[in-house]
Amino acid sequence: MILLTIGLSLNIIAIGVLFYLGYQKNKQLENKLKNSSLALLSLQEEFTKYQISEKRLKEKETAKIEIRHDNIAKSIQKNEDRIHLMNKTLPNKIGKIVSQVEFAQNIINKNVK
């Protein structure tokens, strides 16, 4: 009878220890899962911030490039306008100079004769 009581006592203690160890192991797993979940959420938040900052940076660079292209286009247009104006007025200026030269040539020829 004493051996039966000792055996039952040891079995109950063993079962209690197993339950305790199982509870501790479960608690450790829950803590690891919680920490992993927090780490993943933190990583996701950081990556989202990175994506947003990269998108803003890309948009700023695109805007700078567009402004540069607009300035270059304006400069080209201004130069083309100058060239067009020069092409329109150049024949008149050449004509005036040639007529002055011819008039002066006529005067020189009259004085020489």
pLDDT, averaged in runs of 10, over the chain (113 residues): 84 88 92 94 96 97 94 93 88 80 64 58
- How far apart are the C-alpha atoms of 99 and 104, rounded to whole Å? 8
pLDDT of res. 103? 67
The string of DSSP codes covering 17-64 is: HHHHHHHHHHHHHHHHHHHHHHHHHHHHHHHHHHHHHHHHHHHHHHHH
pLDDT of res. 85? 87
pLDDT of res. 77? 94
The pTM of this model reads 0.50
